[in-house]
A and B are shown apart, each in its own frame.
Chain A
């Protein structure tokens, strides 16, 4: 049933875990390239207006049509991708690093520090995440910086809880005990033996976290709490499109599709990585 491994190593499908995950990876990579090269790929300036063609539907000149101010929607979706990736990357980086470090220290040392971190996690988990983010941004005022801050505040908790659990488990594994018996110091044990054991789980969480951050940013921007016009964000585009939902549905369809596709892509990729991260499949 199982094929012999190819001489050149493992196939992509084995690394990311299944065809759905490969599809997810393709979507994510394409979107990332589009976001990175948006200024060169965009057919038009995302802020340039052609008022004569307001709300014009998709056509040869404007594949996704024009919005209520006569701006090219394709160009704006591409520019919006930059915001989505920026939010995803910043939020996931900040919250995974902060969460992993706090979780690892809490799990490894226990005691009062663990109590403190664990109670903080409990408190933050008691709030619906998005609601807390909305409250924070509402208090601080709508801006991209505040969105990044609010999403990181609710984001680190997941990583901290995950890593704490992994570290608690890893601490008792015999090869960690063996390292202690050999006289290894705490930094060596943590970085050589304990954290690498937790890393696959963090990568999976981070991938799914990208999806979460992107959708949360879209939600906040949709509510007018995130990125402010005229900067294009998928959330603000949806918001603006609502008024024309019936007469010009392309205003909402394309940014909506973009959100759905990218979030699905990250979710498929994350699920695939989770399957592949099974320790039994760790390969040379």
Chain B
């Protein structure tokens, strides 16, 4: 059984009602299905507005999906009662993109990392303190800095604090929503390596949301490409990069910069009229799905 199974997920945002005239909503997520296996890093890529972040938030019900199914270890998350959802959230966590807005500027970082433990009433004060120290160590921060405020840390350090908070409840599944795209390139590698290291040590499964394909290639086992709310291609990483099937995927891959000053840029420009946006996913090769016609 896959750890996470998403089936026909739809999120429709209502548009502003016009007088007496219902306006159809915007489908930010349109019939999205995929699975994530235990211990896997599943990549979700796409441009801004493609619905990848909304998909991630729907899995945790930070945004309520319009319809569909999200199964975690076989249990439908969308049908969970508020009490059950609270328990489920101990197992499913999220790391946010922006290391600045994701930490409450008025709380000490120790209190930020401790908050999940406090919310779930875990441990005594002393035990929680020890756990916070342990978490600081786990993400490579000095526990002595627990009484500082978020603004006293760099972007990379803040992202480590966000990670420590997400890991406080020992989750098995973490959604990483563009966790490094707000960081300097020199810091990105450190944080990505930390994510990979933690995955090995804590047996984590990741949903890795990104727009940087080089990162995805480096860390994901399978990748889904989203375009206008739909998955247009889903394949093992190597297959996707070597034999992209969908025109959008091809255009996306051609946009990866090549670190060679002499290389001729060979960017493909996407012609949206050249393919059928409503085409269903079809298994072109075992495990490689693409929304292309016969």
Contacts and interface: CB of A to CB of B under 8 A. Distances in A.
A26 interface: no
A182 B115 contact: yes
Interface residues of A, number: 21
- Chain B, interface residues (CB within 8 Å), range: 20 to 34
A178 B149 contact: no
B89 interface: yes
- With most chain B CB atoms within 10 A of its CB, the pick from A175, A188, A196 is A175
Per DSSP, chain B at the interface is loop
A179 interface: yes
Per DSSP, chain A at the interface is helix
Contact of A183 (B101, B120, B152, B165): B120
B103 A284 contact: no
Given A183-B119, A282-B105, A282-B151, A178 B89 contact: no
A184 B104 contact: no
Given A182-B165, A183-B120, A175 B62 contact: no
B119 A178 contact: no
A177 interface: yes
Given A182-B115, A184-B115, A177 B120 contact: no
A181 B105 contact: no
Contacts of B57: 177
Nearest to A284: B149
A173 interface: yes
Interface in B25-80: 57, 60, 62
Given A193-B104, A279-B105, A178 B165 contact: yes
Contacts of B89: 181-183
Contact of B102 (A175, A183, A283): A175
Interface string A167-179: 0000001110111
A183 B61 CA distance: 11
16 contacts: A174-B96, A174-B97, A175-B104, A177-B96, A178-B102, A181-B89, A182-B89, A182-B93, A182-B119, A183-B87, A184-B115, A188-B119, A193-B104, A196-B104, A282-B105, A282-B151
Given A174-B96, A178-B162, 18 more contacts: A173-B101, A174-B97, A174-B102, A177-B94, A178-B102, A179-B115, A180-B62, A181-B62, A182-B93, A182-B115, A183-B87, A183-B89, A184-B115, A184-B119, A188-B119, A196-B106, A284-B148, A284-B149
Interface of A: 173-175, 177-185, 188, 192-193, 196-197, 279, 282-284
Interface of B: 57, 60, 62, 85-87, 89-90, 93-94, 96-98, 101-106, 115-116, 119-120, 148-149, 151-152, 162, 165, 169
